Structure 1
Amino acid sequence: MLKPWQFISKIFSLNFTYQIDFDFNYHKILEEYNVVQNKLNEVNHPSLGIDHDGGWEVVSLYSETGNATAVAKNTDTDTTPTEIIKYFTYTHEVIKELLVKYNCKPRRIRFSRLKAKKNINWHRDWDETMEYGNSRLHLPLIVNNKCKSNLCHESYQWTPGGLFYGDYSFPHQIKNEGSDDRLHLIIDLKDPKNLFTDPQKFSLDEKKRKKYKKIIIPIFNIFYKYPKKIIRLFTFK
């Protein structure tokens, strides 16, 4: 059954996700990750208990402080490679190619793991959208067919080998009901140029999203965000 905010986005047929035309070998990225996985100090995403149930772990290739365990977004500043980038020669080449091709600067870049049988709850990242000059790209590495994602009403299940943009300023969630972890490389870019293969379509979609965001976000806040805050206030969770 659709949530109220999903119902609105479906009624108006809003689009939230797009595949990016960019060539790379995801096998090499995953191989680098697997080789050094035991050396990585993955940490819980900072919003434990609010946005997720304890199964969301991240480690940074680019962060605001240059530290791999610094995963929070505190300022809108440029980021720098972290100490673990030395283990990811090919992955770093892919990142630098992205920055050159789309003439942009890096923001946070991190591996994001959602453990089996765990969830990322409904939430929104208000500035993770081209509306504010930001683009959040997902590069899937490990997926399973029982891990389902939603951006408002739009259900998606991206496969390894592709690179995808999502407008995460809208409510989104992930449920991993499979027996395998889900692993993505999340690449946040600042002011990318010519990111979309059909910029005219994206511009029309963006205009439509901005129009109905004025309805969707208040509904999300009233039916989900504010009640959750009240529950946490009285249960101290």
Structure 2
Amino acid sequence: MILRRLTLHFREQNWFAVVLDLLIVVLGVFLGFQVTLWQGALAEREREGMLLERLGEDLLALQQVNERVAGQRDAMNAQFDRTIEFIRDPGSLEASPEAWREMISPVLGYPDPVTEFAIYDEIKSTAGFSLLSDDELRHELSGFGQWLDNSKLALGVSGDSYGSAWERIYRHLVTAQEFPDLVAAMSLEQRATLMADVQMMRTLAFFASSKAADIGLRAGELIALLPEAAQPHQPAEPD
């Protein structure tokens, strides 16, 4: 329709009408382009909003589970103290297999911090950082994700030491259960070696709980950077 009118006006040499038709065409193209940009920006903001909500939920879960792990630190330290004192006491050589099991079993493991952060891995693999309009949040999230990856590596290295100490302590526990006479005949050197392994477990447990506390703290700091609409709902504390 516009093209037909434009051709007609051109033949009639109605230059004012020609210019007017061209302006209408240009304005229509411009408005169409602007509407497309506006719709694209609106779709991006909607995707950002959904991404921020999921980010808030994952951060809250990461914070809460690691705070629970870190909260067991005092109880673990107390148990390690009791176990070390038990082994150091010469009277433990005459203790029953049940007493050894009661003292040794609790130090054979400790809760690990949670380092899985699925939404960050998704954002990183799908170039989702470009959706985040807040420069500070984008920078802090990237730094937290890299620090979390490094924490996984550090925990993996400590896990190698954990495996060796665990095996030796467990072997002693089995010996105490099956061959109590061998326990009664333990030398000072053997007791010192066992205490060293338990102390190693204590050090690793302290490292793990400290790392859990750091993860919980940093996750909380990131939550504080989220816009109000994306703040995760935290259940009320029981009365």
Superposition TM-score, scaled by structure 1 size: 0.19
Q: Which has the higher contact order (CA 8 A, sep 6+)?
A: 2
Normalized per residue, which structure has more helix? Answer: 2
Look at both structures and tell me which one has the larger radius of gyration over its CA atoms: 2
